[in-house]
Amino acid sequence: MTATRITIAGLEKEFSRAGQSTMAVDGVSLVVEPGEIFFLLGPSGCGKTTLLRMIAGFTEPTKGRILFDDVEVTWLAPNARQVGMVFQSYALWPHMTVAENVAFGLRIRKLRSQEIQRRVHAALDVVRMREYESRRPNELSGGQQQRVALARALVVEPKVLLLDEPLSNLDAKLRNDLRSEIRRICKQVGTTTVYVTHDQKEALAVADRIAVLQSGRVCQIDSPHRLYSNPSSTFVGGFLGEINLLRAKVHQRGPGQAEMTTSFGRVFSRHESADRAIVGSSISIGVRPERIALAEFTTSEVGFSGTITTVLFLGDTTLLKIQVGEDLIRVSAPSSRIYREGEVVRVIVDPSDVICFEGPQDDPAST
């Protein structure tokens, strides 16, 4: 079976309730390529579930179109779309065994029992749960239950697999283990997958591409690496991980580079976003805490002088807050040496790590 392309064009969903209306999804257009693992990432309430439910057919759009390959499915009933869904709650039937749970969708379709058994075994093999086929859900861990839910979704060979926060009921260790498992399973089966989460680490680890949503709109669609290293706005930059946002005034611009004035001196950017900087304008510059290097004050002339105000030892890294000019900069340093509050250090930033954002904006993560 060849994989399906999902095309979403100008999709909107407006909820009205007691005279109040909410634009849950506000003009979303995107294409999910065949076999791709595509993430919808954003804070709670940004419209992820509503968008996913429209792809599944559980929610009718107010406007716009959804196509699976060349077939418009916008108004098709869920069972006519051939989608498989996995939710946060495992929603397994407690009175059925693992095998019976997985077989359910095939029994409804009245397949021959030999064929059902073959496909149930194949699906359980994919999620590595074959040896548990006779157990009931309450005899399984949360992670195992979610594997069964995945097998149940995959066994009907859906055109599209839809996952809504599938790991958020699991503890941190299981969540980590299942991340790579889900990616392996989706790639092995080859089904086009749309995966909803508010957890940026999960998205970065599992996705081929991610759409970051805010208030029902798409902010940016890119690969995990590009989203992290070249966010198009302070919102995206802050949502994907820690970032220092500093106010700066653009002093000079050359091809692929900009020179800014900050509270602590001249800063260069040779990041690809430097082309956004307009001479004379006030902008925000962003630097990830792990991209900042420190040198001993006495041994170096490069960088900027700063005073460590806070030290948080995290084991592999140490999180520091450093007062540099009027800015408090967060630095994630290797724990190879001990840092002390009050210590004066030099803060070194490579110009290729200085991201330029248009205009001074608020950072959602810094509150």
Chain contacts with ligand ADP (rule: CB under 6 A): 15, 17, 22, 24, 42, 44-50
Q: Quick one: which of 5, 37, 40, 49 contacts Mg ion (CB under 5 A)? A: 49
Q: How far is the CB of 164 from ligand ADP (least distance, A)?
A: 7
Distance CA 237, CA 351 (A): 17
Q: How far is the CB of 165 from ligand ADP (least distance, A)?
A: 8
DSSP secondary-structure letter at 297? T
Q: How far is the CB of 127 from ligand ADP (least distance, A)?
A: 25
Three-state DSSP state, 29: strand
* Nearest CB to Mg ion, comparing residues 198 and 291: 198
Contact 150, 193 (CB under 8 A): no
Q: Which two tokens stand for residue 205?
A: 């680890």
* Nearest CB to ligand ADP, comparing residues 124 and 211: 211
| Amino acid at site 40 | L
* Nearest CB to Mg ion, comparing residues 49 and 214: 49
* Nearest CB to ligand ADP, comparing residues 40 and 155: 40
Residue 47 interacts with which of Mg ion, ligand ADP, none, CB < 5 to 8 Å by class: ligand ADP
Residue 2 interacts with which of Mg ion, ligand ADP, none, CB < 5 to 8 Å by class: none
Residue 50 interacts with which of Mg ion, ligand ADP, none, CB < 5 to 8 Å by class: ligand ADP
* Nearest CB to ligand ADP, comparing residues 45 and 256: 45
Q: What angle do CA 330, 331, 336 make, to 5 degrees?
A: 150
Which segment (33-41, 49-57, 97-105, 327-335) binds Mg ion by CB under 5 A?
Answer: 49-57
DSSP string, 76-88: S-GGGTTEEEE-S
Residue 22 interacts with which of Mg ion, ligand ADP, none, CB < 5 to 8 Å by class: ligand ADP
Residue 193 as a binder of Mg ion (CB under 5 A): the answer is: no
CA distances from 195 to 59, 232, 283 (A): 17, 22, 34
| Amino acid at site 268 | F
Q: Quick count: other Cβ atoms within 10 Å of Cβ 205?
A: 14
Nearest to residue 16, comparing CAs of 24, 8, 5? 24
* Nearest CB to ligand ADP, comparing residues 45 and 254: 45
Residue 17 interacts with which of Mg ion, ligand ADP, none, CB < 5 to 8 Å by class: ligand ADP
Helix (H) or strand (E) holding 174: helix 172-189
Q: Quick count: other Cβ atoms within 10 Å of Cβ 302?
A: 10
Q: Residue length, the chain? A: 367
- The residues that touch Mg ion, with contacts defined as CB under 5 A, are 49
